[in-house]
Amino acid sequence: MRHKAISRGVGDALSMPFFMVLASMMGYGSLARESGLSLGVSVVSSATVWGLPGQVAFAELFAVGAPVLAIMLASSMANLRFLPMSLSMLPLFRADQRAWRWRYILVALMSINTWALTLRHGPAMPQDQRFHYYMGLCITCMTGGLIGTALGYLLAVSFPFFVTVSLIYLNPVYFIFLFSGVRHRNCILALLIGALLGPLFHLISPDWGLPFCGIIAGSAAFWIDKRMKASPGGPSL
């Protein structure tokens, strides 16, 4: 049963989260190189900080020569969302003494994807399988993150910085799909168009890029969906 739970965790990770984390961390690897971090420090920061907001804060503060204490504090504050996320998972592992002994490791391995999938599938699992499922899920996703960081760092010289760093946005977009249960085509189109245009609009205007991007992405999705419905033989979701 232990191996079955681990295999299920690995399988759920490889269904999509592994690739989303890998792609997002490629964006971080590119940002880390642009900020002056070495390849080794970039990969180690992914493993230790393990949260894109905290990692971005780490790289940007390093680039401006901020003190180590300030970098550590900013990275920790940026990843503070893991506190309520950890608390929400406590009931799933409370009765498992092994998981309780490893609780600090479990928290360190947590990402937004593994948290969401564990909350979705964990309650239906037997108590003695949840720990192994979670470990299989987390270790697979972290492996993807470390590989992605190294790939992004090494490939940064081959692609424009804007292209590689925009990959950071893939993980939050995937999380939106995962947790919102999006089914309508116009919503999916709006999310995809917004994810593609968001980085560009932010570069043009950091203050007004987000609202303008939302308006344009939503309007374009509505127009495309309407045209697809009106076309002969077009799908009617």
Chain centroid to CA 128: how far?
28
Token duo for residue 180: 């919102």
> What's the rounded Cα separation, in Å, for the pair 178 and 176?
5
d(CA 111, CA 28): 15
Question: Tens digits of per-residue pLDDT, 132-183?
Answer: 999 999 999 999 999 999 999 998 887 776 666 666 666 666 666 665 544 5
**Distance (Å, whole) CA 80 – CA 207:** 24
Which one-letter amino acid corresponds to residue 164?
A: T
Q: Tell me the DSSP string of 95-127.
A: T-HHHHHTHHHHHHH--HHHHHHHHHHGGGS-H
Report residue 237's pLDDT band, with 50, 70 and 90 as the boundaries.
Answer: very low
| pLDDT tens string 45-101 | 999 999 888 888 898 888 888 898 888 888 888 787 788 788 888 888 888 888 888
**Model pTM score:** 0.71
Q: Which of the residue ranges 22-26, 60-64, 90-94, 188-192 would you say has the lowest mean pLDDT? A: 188-192
Mean pLDDT of 113-125: 88
Residue 23 to residue 164: CA distance in whole angstroms:
9
Give 168's DSSP letter: G
Q: What would the mean pLDDT of 12-29 be, rounded to a whole number?
A: 88
Query: 192 falls in which pLDDT band (50, 70, 90)?
Result: confident
**Residue ranges covered by each domain of the chain:** 2-162, 182-230
Instruction: Tell me the helices (H) and strands (E) count for the chain, helix number first.
Output: 14, 0
Average pLDDT value for residue range 193-222 = 76
How far apart CA 149 and CA 143 sit, in angstroms, is: 10
User: Has residue 198 got a pLDDT over 80?
Assistant: no
Q: In terms of Cα–Cα distance, which of 73, 67, 42 is closest to 148? A: 42
Which structure tokens are listed for 65? 């020569």
pLDDT at 236 over 50: no
Tokens 């992004």 sit on residue: 152
